[in-house]
Amino acid sequence: MKRVLGASILLVMLLFFSFKYYSYTSKSASNLIPQIYLGYAFSQPNETIELNFYLTNFTCDNLTLESPWGFVEKRVNLTLVKMAGFGEISLNVTLPHDLKGKVLVKNCENKYYSLVRVKVEEGHGYLLRFHKWTSSVLNFEDTEYVYEAEVYNPLNTSVKLLDIYYPVEGVKIISFGFANGTIYSHDSNLSKVLPPRSRQVLMIRLYSKPSVGLVFKPKLILEVDGKIMHSEAPGATMAKIVPPGSEGES
């Protein structure tokens, strides 16, 4: 009898905690996007990047954000934009060192958390000059992200793009190169060589899990006159709006 009673109590406890876990994950997954921000930034200490958070099924217009980083709180820039079915709130942060912590997003009495893990490596400046770029990429269907930036080569020699360094687990760089045109209209053919005194579009295609948001500020591995050099690139955030009930899809 004691064994049966003990097993029954254990079963009830397991069902209770399973229900609590399911309720928490289901509610969080269908409301705050992304729940996890991973990333890498090849950056100078005074540079900033904007973290964007999206809330679906919000109950009121009161949307606020709290950051765990003291040095960031004085630079918080909160904006609320009501779009098609979800609200957006943004936080500007500087990148003097790694970002590790949780960001709290409040919607009336509801609280949601996003875990932020961004590795920061001190850069050495921009070898190339960047003008317009996609600072925020938001997908609704595709699992691939496209980063675009208009870039100018100020040198009197060609620059060869050897590789894109972005050491984040679960992220795959699919293709990269330079295309003729602008970020609004450009060729589909990519070249690894940027001619001297020329302006083209840097394109990078990458894949990540839909449930994970990305801070994307890669290190460009370049070759100039036979020498290997590194350059920064403008930063961007990437996220996917996942419809409720499809969180497990890839």
pLDDT for 28:
40
Q: Each residue of 66-103: pLDDT tens digit?
A: 877 643 333 334 454 555 567 777 888 888 789 999 98
Q: Each residue of 190-221: pLDDT tens digit?
A: 999 999 999 999 999 999 987 799 999 999 99
Q: Give the confidence band of 46 by pLDDT, cuts at 50, 70, 90.
A: confident
Rounded-to-10 torsion of CA 8, 13, 15, 16: 140
Residue % of the chain over a pLDDT of 90: 43
Residue 23 lies in a domain: no
Residue 110 lies in a domain: yes
The CA-CA-CA angle for residues 121, 74, 95, to 5°, reads: 5
Name the residue with higher pLDDT: 50 or 184.
50
Distance of CA 41 to the CA centre of its chain: 11
Q: Each residue of 133-155: pLDDT tens digit?
A: 998 888 877 778 999 999 999 99
pLDDT for 176:
97
- Pick from 188, 161, 166: which is nearest to 177 by CA? 161
Choice among 15-19, 97-101, 107-111, 152-156 with the minimum mean pLDDT: 15-19
pLDDT for 125:
87
Distance CA 231, CA 109 (A): 45
Q: Give the confidence band of 1 by pLDDT, cuts at 50, 70, 90.
A: very low
pLDDT for 245:
52
pLDDT at 185 over 80: no
| Domain that includes residue 174, residue range | 32-240
Residue 120 lies in a domain: yes
pLDDT at 5 over 80: no
Residue 5 lies in a domain: no
Residue 68 lies in a domain: yes
Distance CA 88, CA 105 (A): 11
pLDDT at 244 over 90: no
Residue 81 bridge partners (DSSP):
88
Q: What is the count of structural domains for the chain?
A: 1
Residue 24 lies in a domain: no
Residue 17 lies in a domain: no
* Domain CATH number, residue 39: 2.60.40.10
Q: What is the mean pLDDT of residues 105-134?
A: 90
Residue 20 lies in a domain: no
Name the residue with higher pLDDT: 135 or 157.
157
